[in-house]
A and B are shown apart, each in its own frame.
Chain A
Amino acid sequence: MTDASPRALIAEDEPLLAAALQAELARAWPELRIAATVGDGESAVREALRLRPDVLLLDIRMPGLSGLDAAAELADAWDEAAAPFPALAFVTAYDEYAVRAFETQAVDYLLKPVQPARLARTCARLRQALRQRSAPALEQALAQLRALAQAPGLGAPPAAFSTAAARLEVIQAASQTGDGTRIHFVPVAEVLYFEAADKYVRVLTAEREYLIRTPLKELAAQLDPAAFWQIHRGTLVRASAIASAVRDETGRLHLLLRGRAERLAVSRLYAHRFKGM
């Protein structure tokens, strides 16, 4: 792998910018081959798992999964035995939150419009990262992603939103009955976990399941972060309902809950919360 020319995957939703980045990269790093260019986060994860590139250039704001979510998802599904985790660089239009977070975490990033001098510097750093690449590449990437997930405006909701919103006490979930719509009032205190499912969020209590349309991120901003833990991009669990955390032979972590039979998968991004005392 080291002698072969390195391969990169570009994820950028604006087609002109993707083409421009590819052209600039051809000048700044001629040996780098572009394995694929994709336009959204989900495709980025899928293609990265299939192609196992050495370098990943991810736009932050993309439809579907954001660049950060895509990186976390990829870290989750990555098989380190098969190939080391790719070197990451994020691409963003001016965004003070992201830039500050990247600076403090020493994460490589590019600002749009991408300037040749800046791109050359990033390429040099990525080359260096590839040379030094060793086993803990995934752990290192996870540590960075964890820190970024805490940054306001990136992973965490913007400060203005989380402070202004009052704590949610009751979930109002609509359901279709034979002769119309019924609104169920579900006390948050009874909810064991929330799970994102396509356009809905599933609300699960010990007895029942409800569907609501409020996005999980908006919901999370109105819940007590000490009471509900994020264990996956799409899952918020009541901490006091967790009975045990089990690691299987492949190293994946699952939670067993009091009051529910199903096992919940824990993302590698949040696995550090489940250690023995």
Chain B
Amino acid sequence: MKIDGYDVLRHGLQVLAFCCVVAVFTTMIWPGGGYLRQLLYSVCIGGLTWLTIEFGRLLVPPEQCHREPDSASHGWPKGWRGLLLTAIGIAVGFFGGSRLAAGLLGETARTPVHDLRLALLVTIAAGVIASFYFHARGRQAALQAQAAAAERDAAQARLMLLQSQLEPHMLFNTLANLRALIGADPASAQQMLDRLGDYLRATLGGSRATLHPLEDEFERLADYLELIAVRMGPRLTYRLDLPDALRAAKVPTLLLQPLVENAIRHGLEPQVAGGSVWVSAQAMADDAGGTRLALQVRNSGAPLAAPLPGADGAPGRSFGLIQVRERLRTLYGAQATFELIADNAGHTCANIIFPLQ
């Protein structure tokens, strides 16, 4: 349970302001006691409703609340719990608040049933409007925070790609190969240069979008693998399997890049005989009747070594994996799964599944 004092104060003042407005309307309905009397009723009812909801939600376990990223405060309860809490708040506020106000004013006369009904209606309307306002505000803030996190992750992915392609070993080996090709096979040299250009453009001048079509993702992987294929020669075979139906599917920009790089650097490069990399995409139905996208990066290289306790495997490898996991979590939450396993043939497989968009 977490209470943010500043948040509570802000909510309270907003409620107070709202009560002042409500009192204007109720003064029009019951001009008898004047604005101040209506204001007192309004503040008592509204205040008690707010207090019940504000602190009542702390009784709901945090798992059943909307998480507000980047905020320590307790979120709004999900689904029917939120509605129930609003109803309880309104009931407590109406009955408790009107008694409190009557007590404070020393009024003992029974309110006519007609007025009571009208007052209840006003309270419900005001309560629903205020609750909806707070709920919408919270939702908007959460969405904004989520979008910001997704953007930040995409930026980080671009930065990592930049680092890997400007990783001196990769870049200078590619240049050395280019230099050799210019003399031996100018046409292949041009092709390699074009690949390098496309590959560099993907990060340096590329799209800043969080998501891009799967087709583009595979095209960037092809650039990278083609550059490596020139260097490794017959030691590398690779295959990219993208069904036509999935070409336009939206995926996080350059999500697979670190996985393919790991497959090359940790899987194949250490093997004298080299090996193969397969990247595939597949649509599959999930239990809920929706469609999910399954992406796989598989390599036949060095087996996964169990990481030592305390050390998270090889430093380069785990950084890429953490980054992939983090991006999936921000974009898809519990909807996405990511696993790194050895299949029956002893191949290392990175499997990613998330909702098809």
Contacts and interface: CB of A to CB of B under 8 A. Distances in A.
Interface residues of B, number: 36
Interface residues of A, number: 38
Residue of B180, B183, B271 contacting most chain A CB atoms (<10 Å): B180
Contacts of B269: 61, 63
A164 to B, nearest CB: 8
B175 A16 contact: no
Interface stretch (A50-58, A123-131, A165-173, A230-238): A165-173
B238 interface: no
B172 A113 contact: yes
A215 interface: yes
Contacts of B271: 63-64
B230 interface: yes
Interface string A205-222: 000000011110011001
Given A20-B184, A168-B310, A213-B306, A114 B176 contact: yes
B227 to A, nearest CB: 12
A23 B183 CA distance: 10
A31 interface: no
B110 interface: no
Interface string B236-277: 000000000000000000000000000000000111101000
Contacts of A20: 176, 179-180, 183-184
A199 interface: yes
Given A20-B179, A95-B169, A168-B308, A14 B231 contact: yes
B202 to A, nearest CB: 22
A95 B168 contact: yes
Contacts of B310: 165-166, 168, 222
Q: Give the dominant DSSP class at B's interface.
A: helix
Contacts of A165: 308, 310-311
Contacts of A164: 311, 315
Contact of B309 (A111, A172, A174, A213): A172
A73 to B, nearest CB: 15
Residue of A39, A93, A111, A168 contacting most chain B CB atoms (<10 Å): A93
Contacts of A39: 235, 272
A181 to B, nearest CB: 11
Contacts of A160: 315
Contact of B180 (A19, A96, A172, A174): A19
B322 interface: no
